[in-house]
Amino acid sequence: MPVLSVEEGIMKNGRNHFFAWLRHRPLQLNILLAFTALLVTTVVVIVSYTYRQNSATVLQISDDLIHQVTDTVIEKTINYLTPAVLMAQSSARIPGMADLSLVENPALERYGMALLALYPQLDAFFIGNERGDFIFIKRFADGGIGTQEIDRSLATPLRTWTYRDTAGHVTEVETTDDFTYDPRRRPWYEGAKKTGRAYWTDIYIFFTDQTPGITAAYPIHDDRENLVGVIGIDVTLNELSFFLETLRAGDNGVAFITNEQGQIVAYPRIDLARADGEGFRPVHISELRDRSVAAAYEAYITHSRSRFTMTSGGQRYIVSFTSIAAEIGRNWSIGVVVPEDDFVGDIKRTNQISLLISLIILFLSIVVAIFISRAISRPIVELARETRKIANLDLDNQLKISSPISEVQLLDESISAMKTGLQAFKRYVPADLVRQLIRTGEEARLGGDQRELTILFTDIANFTSRSEGMDAEGLMLQLSHYMGELATIIMSQQGTVDKYMGDGLMAFWGAPTENPDHAFYACHAVLSCRDRIAELNEQWGEQGRLQLPTRFGIHTGQTLVGNIGSTERMNYTVLGDSVNLASRLEAVNNIYGTTIIVSQATYHKVADRFYFRPLDTVMVKGIRQGVLLYELMGEPNMTPQTKIVLCRDFTAGYAAYTARDWSKASALFEDLAARYPSDTATLIYLTRCRAFQQSPPGPEWRPAVNLTPKPVDVSHGSFS
């Protein structure tokens, strides 16, 4: 018999289950399959026919859209360029313009600045004459104005730049005789001089900005029709590119303007100038990253067709080129390249919507077909789910089943009553313990086991004396709120609340659910409790209510944990020396004026994850070695710098104290007492060190004190 691999065995087993399922299909499934097949066939036929018909219609409409885009670009281009040529022409015909001096002429300068302010697309206004004199008024990107004057009437021609801020104030003047610019050699001057009328240059790189643009120029003649000079107005092409970027040509189409040399006049989202070995030059259409546009232009030049479709990069495009030479006097063309899917895509989306609607109808039909069978089975399924939630002690939501079947209704009422009883039971027994019993199927029995746990005791400082004479009912409500806040934080950090003892609370971590990091969760929970109680005390103080300052004691050690009591009534709790020590640590807070004391066993578990300072070594009944106590101060990134410094400096003082270096320890604690005068632990050690300086202890002295409920004798380092 051949041996199958694990993968082959899994596949064979899966096939067997599938074929068995096919052989025993329920009638409900057969009806649904037949109904679905009929509806799917109908949907496919209707959607396919609709797609073919609509595609033909939309492709016809695409021509109208491209015409609309082209007309919009033409209108925008004309409106953008016309002010330049009109202003150049009207300025040249101003009476006396032929006799104006181009140098040191404030009126002419103000006139140019007014034109630039009137038309944002105008970049510069300038005039050159036959002698080579030149005035050039330019707007900068920051809103400032620069004026350049070239005076060739002097023996040594000079060029002067005057810079003004946005308020028109002169900020800088530069004069030099080192320049090469001659307006008479520029394309705009030569073109207007040659034609004798309004002249548009082709795209060229502006001398000042080194950016591409065009210039509208118009000649200035004197009364005898002799050429005196030429007026020019620069127009940058960036604004046209910005406009094209906002223009919608389908979803992914692009509109652009190019000249007869294939240079880009305007194109969305590109820099229109490119550096080469000799400076900057306009970008050629073949240099575009969009290869579909370059391919469209190449096909346009090759075949001389203005409307056509093509394929590029595996995608079909609709292409249109329209000449606008008649409108602007330059042989420019507007190109539009749009993916065919941008038009047919709507049809595809319509088909998808139709298909979705059909699927919804299919789904609703199936729902109707199975409604009757589900009317009986649904309540039972819901009740089964509810019992599963009960098994996990998820008792918060009350499910109300409505069914005409009396047995189902009775079962629903019984489950609701059971949930109510379990909710009350959950308040007396740790929920994790009950979940564990349910998960393992075990019955609660008397007994327990030894386990390392972290144990917490809390107590309200001087609660009895501070609460005398207060309203009993109000105090109970406040205390219940206080206990609820503590319990919520402890349980959220995987802790188990064992019992409430008057104004105190006992909790532990690591049982019934094992938690290897129980010491960390305990310390984190206690810090959260401390901070929350501080917030509550502040609120209660503002309301004139009793504040509840709280002390905490934490110890980690081997502990007996389990069910203790009788077979009729038992309690899940912890017993042992570790519990007693944790209880004693809470009370020690009163001696050292601290809030949270942990034992060295807890400290060693989490020393690198919190801020601590050593407090004292205490002798505990039943333990030979002294127990070193620490104060838990806070968490990294959440502890004030003052506490961090206190931890560091107090630790140094404690180290000197345990080393019997009384002078050093005394000096350190004196410095701490000056900075932290209310720190009781510092004052205790300062008193001890001073006493030992006066009367040093014998060689048998050890830094340990007896842990008794009596007050500490700070002079001799022991509890008396």
**Per-residue model confidence as pLDDT tens digits over 25-43:** 554 455 556 666 676 677 6
In the structure encoding, which two tokens stand for residue 7, read together?
């993968």
What does the pLDDT look like over 403-414, one tens digit per residue? 666 666 666 666
**pLDDT score for 442:** 44
- Asked if the model's pLDDT at residue 384 lies above 60, the reply is no
Q: Are 555 and 522 in contact (CB under 8 A)?
A: no
- Asked if the model's pLDDT at residue 15 lies above 80, the reply is no
φ and ψ at 336, to 5 degrees?
A: -130, 125
Q: How many other CB atoms sit within 10 Å of the CB of residue 364?
A: 10
In the structure encoding, which two tokens stand for residue 461, read together?
């400082």
**pLDDT score for 101:** 81
**pLDDT score for 452:** 94
Mean pLDDT of the chain: 80
Max CA separation in the chain (angstroms)? 130
| 323 vs 273, more confident | 323
**pLDDT score for 681:** 92
What does the pLDDT look like over 91-102, one tens digit per residue? 888 887 777 788
DSSP state of 263: B
CA separation for the pair 589, 678 (Å, rounded): 15
Q: Are 460 and 548 in contact (CB under 8 A)?
A: yes
Picking from 128, 59, 145, 57, the residue whose alpha carbon sits closest to that of residue 88 is 128
Range 229-247 average pLDDT: 83
**pLDDT score for 117:** 87
Amino acid at 657: Y
Q: How many other CB atoms sit within 10 Å of the CB of residue 682?
A: 25
CA separation for the pair 328, 335 (Å, rounded): 16
The residue ranges of every structural domain in the chain are: 98-236, 239-344, 443-606, 639-720
**pLDDT score for 34:** 61
Range 387-391 average pLDDT: 62
How would you classify the pairing of strands 705-706 and 611-619? parallel
Domains 98-236 and 239-344 share a fold: yes
**CATH code, 239-344:** 3.30.450.20
**pLDDT score for 614:** 95
**pLDDT score for 70:** 78
CA separation for the pair 358, 332 (Å, rounded): 50
User: What counts of helices (H) and strands (E) characterise the chain?
Assistant: 18, 27
Q: Are 378 and 385 in contact (CB under 8 A)?
A: no
**pLDDT score for 262:** 83
Please give the CATH superfamily to which domain 443-606 belongs.
Answer: Nucleotide cyclase, GGDEF domain (3.30.70.1230)
Confidence of residue 717 (pLDDT cuts 50, 70, 90): very low
What does the pLDDT look like over 165-191, one tens digit per residue? 988 888 999 999 998 889 999 888 999
**pLDDT score for 361:** 74
**How would CATH label the architecture of 98-236?**
2-Layer Sandwich (3.30)
- Asked if the model's pLDDT at residue 277 lies above 90, the reply is no
What does the pLDDT look like over 213-223, one tens digit per residue? 888 899 998 88
Q: Are 681 and 693 in contact (CB under 8 A)?
A: no
**pLDDT score for 222:** 86
Picking from 107, 131, 121, 113, the residue whose alpha carbon sits closest to that of residue 230 is 131
**pLDDT score for 469:** 76
| 505 vs 389, more confident | 505
- Asked if the model's pLDDT at residue 706 lies above 80, the reply is no
Confidence of residue 600 (pLDDT cuts 50, 70, 90): very high
**pLDDT score for 402:** 64
What does the pLDDT look like over 636-661, one tens digit per residue? 988 899 999 999 999 999 999 999 99
Instruction: For 641-676, give one letter per residue: b (16+ CB within 10 A) or e.
Output: eeeeebbebbeebbebbeeeebebbbebbeebbeeb
In the structure encoding, which two tokens stand for residue 355, read together?
């298909």
**pLDDT score for 440:** 45
CA separation for the pair 349, 4 (Å, rounded): 49
Of the ranges 240-244, 313-317, 690-694, which one carries the lowest mean pLDDT score?
240-244
**pLDDT score for 525:** 95
In the structure encoding, which two tokens stand for residue 416, read together?
């609701």
DSSP state of 405: -
CA separation for the pair 17, 562 (Å, rounded): 46
Of the ranges 125-139, 193-207, 266-280, which one carries the lowest mean pLDDT score?
266-280
Range 460-475 average pLDDT: 84
Q: Are 149 and 139 in contact (CB under 8 A)?
A: no
Torsion angle of the four alpha carbons 351, 356, 361, 362, in this order, in degrees rounded to the nearest 10: 100
- Asked if the model's pLDDT at residue 549 lies above 90, the reply is yes
Q: Are 202 and 329 in contact (CB under 8 A)?
A: no
- Asked if the model's pLDDT at residue 548 lies above 70, the reply is yes
| Cis check: omega of the bond before 268, within 30 degrees of 0 | no
- Asked if the model's pLDDT at residue 376 lies above 70, the reply is no
What does the pLDDT look like over 243-265, one tens digit per residue? 777 777 777 888 888 888 888 88
- 411 contact partners, CB below 8 Å, separation of at least 6: 383
Please tell me the pTM assigned to this model: 0.47
- Residue 418, Cβ density class (10 Å: 0-12 exposed, 13-18 middle, ≥19 buried): middle
**pLDDT score for 155:** 85
- Asked if the model's pLDDT at residue 530 lies above 90, the reply is yes
Q: Can you name the residues that pair with 217 across neighbouring β-strands?
A: 199, 232
What does the pLDDT look like over 578-598, one tens digit per residue? 898 998 899 899 999 999 999
**pLDDT score for 1:** 45
CA separation for the pair 66, 250 (Å, rounded): 9
What does the pLDDT look like over 612-640, one tens digit per residue? 999 999 887 656 678 899 999 999 988 89
- Residue 564, Cβ density class (10 Å: 0-12 exposed, 13-18 middle, ≥19 buried): middle
Range 691-720 average pLDDT: 63
In the structure encoding, which two tokens stand for residue 1, read together?
């018999």
Q: Are 181 and 199 in contact (CB under 8 A)?
A: no
- 588 contact partners, CB below 8 Å, separation of at least 6: 553, 594, 597, 615, 618, 629, 707
DSSP state of 679: -
- Asked if the model's pLDDT at residue 110 lies above 70, the reply is yes
Range 265-275 average pLDDT: 66
CA separation for the pair 219, 675 (Å, rounded): 87
Confidence of residue 300 (pLDDT cuts 50, 70, 90): confident
DSSP string, 497-565: EEEEETTEEEEEES-SS--TTHHHHHHHHHHHHHHHHHHHHHHHHHTTPPP--EEEEEEEEEEEEEEEE
In the structure encoding, which two tokens stand for residue 570, read together?
């038992």
Confidence of residue 381 (pLDDT cuts 50, 70, 90): low
| 283 vs 23, more confident | 283
What does the pLDDT look like over 58-102, one tens digit per residue? 666 777 777 777 788 788 878 888 888 888 888 888 887 777 788
| 273 vs 162, more confident | 162
Confidence of residue 715 (pLDDT cuts 50, 70, 90): very low
